[in-house]
Amino acid sequence: MGSSSHASTGTLDKSRFANPFFTREGWLYFAILAVLILVVFPLTLDAFRLNNVGKYLTYAFVALGLVLCWGHSGILSLGQGIFFGLGGYCMAMFLKLEASSPENTAIQSTPGIPDFMDWNQITELPWFWAPFHSFGFTLIAIVAVPMILAFVIGFAMFTRRVGGVYFAIITQAIAAILTILIIGQQGYTGGVNGITDLRTLLGWNIRTSEAQFILYFVCAGLLLASLLLCRAVHVSKLGRLVIAIRDKEDRVRFSGYDVAAFKIFVFCFAAGIAAIGGALFTLQVGFMSPTFVGIVPSIEMVIFAAVGGRLSFFGAIYGTLLVNYAKSTFSETFPELWLFAMGGLFIAVVMAFPDGLAGLYHRHVRPHLAKIPGLFDRQSGRGRDVVAQPAE
Amino acid sequence: MIGDYTYSEFGSILAMQGFAGLILFSVFVLMALGLAIIFGQMGVINMAHGEFMILGAYVTYLCSTFVSATIPAFFPYYFFVAMILAFCAAFALGVLVEWAMIRHLYKRPLDTLLATWGLSLVLQQTYRTVFGAREVGVSLPDWLIGSLPVTDVVEVPINGLFVMALTFVITAVVYLLMYRSNWGKRVRAVVQNRTMAGAVGINTRMTDRMTFGLGCGIAGIAGSAFTMIGSTGPTSGQQYIVDTFLVVVFGGAASLLGTIASAFTISQAQSTMEFFMSGSMAKVLTLLAVVGILMLRPQGLFTLKIRR
């Protein structure tokens, strides 16, 4: 960190550490992003493309959490798909139960339970499905279930000072376990097809184009809110501490802080945000399946954040949009080239642009913009959006 | 009587399951040996390890097709040549990758992980472009097909026995190389203290490159051995990667003995449980147990005490 000298006594330049929530420059970026996803996309894209962008924005939730968790705190989780998936599954279970009312499922041998259970000779709703009849419970579960799991993982790992690559491997293994479990327990989870054929949310048909349009705005609004929330965490004392932990964990520990507690918090926070994204994904796409839980999607979500810039919240959102746009374009026209491009992207981002789009912007574009008088505030060198490089 | 089985039947089932577990154990050890060198000794996360194995498998496939088409008389013995070629191909690719990518990333382990994942995607697509998306199988020479009857109910497949023997030989070679040769001494010196190793005149860069290459080469042999018990597709490597990493981490990253012990534990647990429940549940429970134990004992089963 650039301000590592703050431990020295004497006169402190308070304004350097006050860290305003956003500078004028920050609000400008926020406004540009808000206009882009709230005005430009809905006006220029047709319903199908807009729905796709909405889907990408749900991944951006995960990328936001990863910026905080990986970029700022140095905790690389290769299992964010777990939390995205759990959030999505919680939402899907509620919607599925609503779609499987006894009237809708009268032709089944056991009416009132989801169709895939009936196909698997299950005659009674499993106990863990029962609470998902309640919308209030579902809303809580979407965030609570992934966060509790994240807490258990984080508590077990961080209090024993396991971090770095070991943490990455363990989270990846958990993602693999969860995928095998979901696919194996077809009768309880819908198996490899996932939970499909979701129709209504509290009686409101989510499959019409008007509903999709509204859901897009819900998603975009929640994403902007999450961005502000992440930013709030980042500028808080806790946000500074996790950066210190990333750069010199032992020094923070010797200063008397409980390092594990901060790491657990950040990991749980990222899990909660990812889960909100997952729930919105289910609403917009109309199904949830184990393909969004496993190792491959989890690592792809890391690359979204890496392309945007692992230290920048804005970068994460733009990176997610860009990678996904490229993915759908490539796989429509040159499907065989997509994996080459994706693999090349991983290598290039790591070897050549470790700070991603945000790094490129700050190095090449911003210096020119900063010359325009009055565009950024006069003290634009301070409280910038991008924090200093990792020390490693 | 246990359930519907008599004791002798139950005993044979246990023996068969145990033997299936032993084959799985050999497979795990073969997969994990290369990674134990690369990850355990060098601390490099190679997510493309599975793709190096598949490279070996494809080389073996090419050999078998080539030999059966041109010199059928040689067919019974092609496998040994194929294994050497598989080693060479994977070794060469490993050295190339180390030179182009890994050596720039030694100080950024998390980034190595992402870059090698990218490499694995590129390799997968290369395999798909070259060999097609369908899985390919190798035709085995006659002497590898069939099974040996041990008692009237218990039979052991010959290719399984061959894989076990191969595993034993390779493990012995790796052990001798790592712990009984000058080269192994250099590798361990570089791992334990890079600066001092350089100061006493060890070419640390060359050691790194050869170590990485050797790990990849062993992966190539492992892939070659896999062709005897299963078919190979472009994405087969990805399915092994989690298991392999867990085996190495569970064993204690820096310990070769630990890797073998953990491969034994995991494979026996999985194959025994597979008898009592579905394969996927057995796998879930095994992996969960491993992850759970790792949470309680993060350093793995065996640890090497080094002062850093």
pLDDT band, very low/low/confident/very high, at A4 (cuts 50, 70, 90): very low
- A162 closest CB neighbour out of B124, B129, B298: B298
Give domain status of residue A11, yes or no. Answer: no
* Chain B residues in contact with A78 (beta carbon < 8 A): 113
* Residue range A82-102, pLDDT digits in tens: 999 999 999 999 998 888 887
Give domain status of residue A330, yes or no. Answer: yes
**pLDDT above 50 for B2:** yes
* Residue range B64-90, pLDDT digits in tens: 888 888 887 777 778 888 889 999 999
Give domain status of residue A236, yes or no. Answer: yes
Distance between CA atoms of B57 and B34, rounded to whole angstroms?
15
The b-or-e profile of A296-315 (16+ CB within 10 A means b, else e) is bbbbbbbbbbbbbbbbbbbb
Q: What angle do CA B148, B169, B62 make, to 5 degrees?
A: 80
Instruction: Chain A: give the shortest CA distance to residue B234, in Å.
Output: 12
Q: What is the pLDDT of residue A334?
A: 81
Give domain status of residue B244, yes or no. Answer: no
Distance between CA atoms of A274 and A69, rounded to whole angstroms?
11
Give domain status of residue B276, yes or no. Answer: no
Number of H helices, E strands in chain A: 18, 2
Give domain status of residue A277, yes or no. Answer: yes
- Residues of B near A (CB-CB distance < 8 A)? 43, 45, 101, 104-105, 107-115, 117-125, 128-129, 238, 241-242, 245-246, 249, 278, 280-281, 283-284, 287-288, 290-291, 294-296, 298
Cβ contact B284–A181 (<8 Å): yes
Instruction: Chain B: give the shortest CA distance to residue A168, in Å.
Output: 8
**pLDDT above 70 for A29:** yes
Between A297 and A204, residue with greater pLDDT: A297
Q: Please count the structural domains in chain B.
A: 1
3-class state of residue B50 by DSSP: helix
Work out the average pLDDT over A47-73.
90
Cβ contact B287–A299 (<8 Å): no
Give domain status of residue B256, yes or no. Answer: no
Q: Kindly indicate whether the ipTM for this predicted assembly is greater than 0.90, answering yes or no.
A: no
- A184 closest CB neighbour out of B114, B284, B288: B284
pLDDT band, very low/low/confident/very high, at B306 (cuts 50, 70, 90): low
Cβ contact A340–B125 (<8 Å): yes
Give domain status of residue B185, yes or no. Answer: yes
DSSP state letters, B143-192: GGSSEEESSSS-EEEHHHHHHHHHHHHHHHHHHHHHHHSHHHHHHHHHHH
**Residue B258 near residue B300, CB atoms below 8 Å:** yes
Domain span at residue A331 reads 19-369
- A345 closest CB neighbour out of B108, B118, B283: B118
User: In Å, how far from its chain's centre is CA A264?
Assistant: 17
Q: What is the pLDDT of residue A12?
A: 47
Please, what is the average pLDDT of chain B?
83
Q: What is the pLDDT of residue B3?
A: 60
Give domain status of residue B6, yes or no. Answer: no
Q: Please count the structural domains in chain A.
A: 1
pLDDT band, very low/low/confident/very high, at A391 (cuts 50, 70, 90): very low
Burial of A229 (0-12, 13-18, 19+ CB in 10 A): middle
Interface A:B, Cβ pairs < 8 A: 120
Q: What are phi and psi of B171, to 5 degrees?
A: -60, -45
Q: What is the pLDDT of residue A8?
A: 42
Instruction: Chain A: give the shortest CA distance to residue B67, in Å.
Output: 31
Q: What is the pLDDT of residue B99?
A: 92
Distance between CA atoms of B308 and B298, rounded to whole angstroms?
18
The b-or-e profile of B152-175 (16+ CB within 10 A means b, else e) is eebebbbbbbbbbebbeebbeebe
* Residue range A241-279, pLDDT digits in tens: 999 998 888 899 999 999 999 999 999 999 999 999 999
Distance between CA atoms of A16 and A12, rounded to whole angstroms?
8
Question: What is the percent of chain B with per-residue pLDDT over 70, rounded to a whole number?
Answer: 94
Cβ contact A170–B294 (<8 Å): yes
Domain span at residue B130 reads 17-237
Work out the average pLDDT over B89-103.
92
Instruction: Chain B: give the shortest CA distance to residue A167, in Å.
Output: 10
Cβ contact A169–B45 (<8 Å): yes
Please, what is the average pLDDT of chain A?
83
Beta strand residue intervals within chain A, DSSP E: 200-201, 204-205
- B109 closest CB neighbour out of A161, A164, A177: A164
pLDDT band, very low/low/confident/very high, at A332 (cuts 50, 70, 90): confident
Burial of A124 (0-12, 13-18, 19+ CB in 10 A): exposed
- A165 closest CB neighbour out of B101, B113, B121: B113
Nearest to A76 by CA among B115, B109, B40, B39: B109
Q: What is the pLDDT of residue A385?
A: 46
Distance between CA atoms of A171 and A150, rounded to whole angstroms?
10
Q: Which of A73, A170, A389 should one mutate to test binding to chain B, selecting the residue with the greatest count of B CBs within 10 A?
A: A170
Work out the average pLDDT over A129-153.
91
Instruction: Chain A: give the shortest CA distance to residue B63, in Å.
Output: 26
- B242 closest CB neighbour out of A70, A162, A173: A173
Work out the average pLDDT over A215-229.
92
Cβ contact A342–B121 (<8 Å): yes
* Residue range B210-232, pLDDT digits in tens: 999 999 999 999 888 888 877 88
DSSP state letters, A230-250: HHHHHHSHHHHHHHHHHH-HH
* Residue range B124-176, pLDDT digits in tens: 999 988 888 888 877 777 777 777 776 666 777 788 888 888 889 989 998 89
* Chain A residues in contact with B245 (beta carbon < 8 A): 169, 172-173
